[in-house]
A = this chain, B = another copy of it.
Amino acid sequence: MAESAKAQETSVRILDAAELLFIEHGFDGTSMRMITQSAGVNIAAVNYYFGSKDGLYRSVFERRTEPFARLTIANIDELERNNATPDVHAVVQAFIKSALQLGTDPALGGLVFVKLLARAYVEPHPILKESMPRRYGEVVRRYAGALGRALPHLTETEVHWRFHFLTSAMFSAFAGNNVLRLFMEHPVTNARDPQLVARNLMPFLVAGLTAPSAN
């Protein structure tokens, strides 16, 4: 079988290099030669290990998807085990805790994967549309469900709206995609320390979610 130490190292080097380049330049903006050069491997190595550029893209996500999903589910499992009907603060805390663990632990990809997700958000490659719902559908259902139970004054549709706002703000914040960064020459807030992001994000989200219904 394959899986010699050296071989594994090569495919991992490719994944690492590709992940960073996909964030910076997107899928179409990243060429095979950029990837292999950055990884320090021969250009044929990508097709040898991953079959194609599309296959590499799939593998880049697959490496991160499962651990992050598991983490997120574990956090809401723990929350609901200790608290039958958790309040908004607790649900948001559990959700943010996942992003925080992800952003802090390099073994999970660190902030790199958050950025990749943020990009996939507006740049939906067909490959994602086919694989993301399968693994993250459950995550969304669990958190949106818990949020709904914590916000009985809102309709299901309203809960989904707010979950949408919540995730948008959260992803942008952790990924560091800041309107100030793009629109101003000297942004004041461009810190990206996950702990700092989380502390500033919490009160905003909790208050926003708890707001009275619009209807």
Contact = CB atoms under 8 A, between A and B. Distances in A.
Q: Which of A118, A122, A187, A211 has the most CB of B within 10 A?
A: A122
Contacts of A28: 25-26, 28-29
A71 interface: no
B120 A184 contact: no
A50 interface: no
Nearest to A161: B200
Contacts of A185: 133, 137
Per DSSP, chain A at the interface is: helix
A51 B184 CA distance: 28
Interface residues of A, number: 65
A189 interface: yes
Contacts of A27: 29
Interface stretch (A11-19, A73-81, A96-104, A174-182): A174-182
Contacts of A20: none
B200 A214 contact: yes
Contacts of A183: 132-133, 136-137, 139-140
A165 interface: yes
A190 to B, nearest CB: 9
Given A182-B121, A189-B157, A214-B200, A168 B173 contact: yes
Which 7 A-B residue pairs are closest in the complex by CB-CB distance?
A208-B208, A207-B211, A168-B172, A160-B189, A28-B28, A167-B179, A28-B29
